[in-house]
């Protein structure tokens, strides 16, 4: 009996010890499992936060940095355009032209002119060099320390500014006047010269004369003239003879530069061309490709006179 009782008690002790060991082991395993669960939860949370952060960064990058129209003009320095690199002939010629233009725009005469800082560059006939002149004048003024310049291709019949500087373009002045572009800033192209911006002509339109004569165009030109006190606006316009759009633009500008190629336009045609302009505006004449004889050479240049 004793042996049987002792055996039963021993078995109970062994079972109790086993239960105690099982409980202790369970107690040890439970915190570890909890920690692992918390760690896994934390990792999942970090993954969600990281994904959300990436999404926010992606949205921020796509919305905070809008696409800007940009033109690199570095190549023009080696293609015969005005640059600030040296004192070559074309730089000096346009320095002389711009001094007279800026004096009209901001000097004593400015008080007698409407929109004195709005300059139209035109010619009696196509092919006399008006676009090349307009671009170089804009480049020269952009070198000034205290002036900014906006070059507008307003030759909506045969736009040539962007082609001359070898640049593609999309929307322009016409799209803005048509209401296809809501904000004027969408058609302003920034350039590698901080002080020069360009507006292309955009696509042609059969109502271009009416669009240029519209109240919207008038309001736009008035904003150009008054918004920035240091701004010069240059319009490259169509030729004067036989083009209605040019006469419309002549009523918006305070100055006109008429580019005439030597030997191409007669005085009679030049006189008829000048009649298309507003008599109250300041007028300057630039003779292009003038042959001048010196003791040993013949060269071509620009010569400016004012009426």
pLDDT greater than 70 at residue 5:
no
Q: Above 70 in pLDDT, residue 25?
A: no
Q: What is the pLDDT of residues 277-295, one digit of tens each?
A: 999 999 999 988 776 654 4
Percent of the chain clearing pLDDT 90 (strictly above): 52
Rounded to an integer, the average pLDDT of 116-129 is 95
* Residue 107 phi, psi dihedral angles, 5° rounding: -90, -165
- Does the pLDDT of residue 61 top 60, yes or no? no
In the predicted model, what is the mean pLDDT of the chain?
A: 79
Strand partners, 70: 190
This prediction's pTM? 0.74
What residues form DSSP beta bridges with 300?
Answer: 291
Nearest to 202 by CA among 246, 244, 169, 232: 169
Residue 7, pLDDT > 90, answer no
Q: What is the largest CA-CA distance in the chain?
A: 149
Q: How many CA atoms lie within 13 A of 267 on its CB side?
A: 0
Q: At residue 154, does pLDDT exceed 80?
A: yes
For the purposes of burial, counting CB atoms within 10 Å of the CB of 209, is it exposed (0-12), middle (13-18) or buried (19 or more)? middle
Does the pLDDT of residue 10 top 70, yes or no? no
- The whole-number pLDDT of residue 58 equals 37
pLDDT tens-digit readout, 177-222: 999 999 999 999 999 999 999 999 999 889 899 999 999 999 999 9
Provide the residue count of the chain.
Answer: 307
d(CA 127, CA 125): 7
């Amino acid at each position: 009996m004793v042996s049987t009782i002792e055996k039963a008690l021993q078995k109970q002790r062994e079972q109790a010890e086993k239960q105690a060991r099982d409980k202790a082991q369970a107690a040890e395993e439970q915190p570890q499992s909890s920690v692992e669960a918390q760690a896994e939860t934390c990792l999942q949370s970090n993954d969600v936060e990281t994904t959300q952060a990436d999404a926010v960064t992606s949205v921020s990058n796509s919305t905070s940095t809008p696409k800007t129209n940009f033109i690199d003009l570095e190549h023009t320095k080696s293609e015969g355009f005005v640059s600030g690199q040296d004192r070559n002939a074309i730089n000096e010629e346009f320095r002389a032209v711009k001094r007279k233009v800026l004096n009209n725009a901001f000097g004593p005469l400015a008080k007698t002119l409407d929109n004195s800082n709005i300059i139209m560059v035109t010619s009696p006939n196509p092919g006399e060099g008006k676009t090349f002149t307009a671009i170089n004048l804009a480049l020269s003024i952009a070198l000034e320390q205290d002036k900014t310049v906006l070059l507008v291709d307003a030759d909506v019949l045969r736009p040539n500014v962007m082609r001359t500087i070898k640049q593609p373009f999309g929307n322009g002045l016409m799209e803005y006047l048509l209401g296809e572009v809501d904000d004027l800033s969408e058609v302003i192209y920034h350039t590698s010269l901080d002080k020069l911006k360009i507006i292309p002509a955009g696509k042609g339109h059969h109502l271009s004369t009416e669009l240029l004569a519209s109240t919207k165009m008038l309001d736009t030109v008035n904003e150009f003239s008054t918004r920035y006190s240091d701004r010069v606006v240059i319009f490259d316009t169509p030729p004067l003879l036989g083009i209605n759009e040019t006469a419309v633009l002549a009523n918006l500008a305070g100055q006109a530069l008429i580019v005439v190629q030597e030997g191409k336009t007669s005085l009679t045609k030049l006189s008829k061309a000048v009649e298309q302009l507003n008599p109250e505006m300041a007028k300057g004449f630039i003779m292009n490709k003038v042959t001048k004889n010196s003791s040993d050479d013949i060269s071509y240049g620009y010569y400016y006179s004012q009426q």
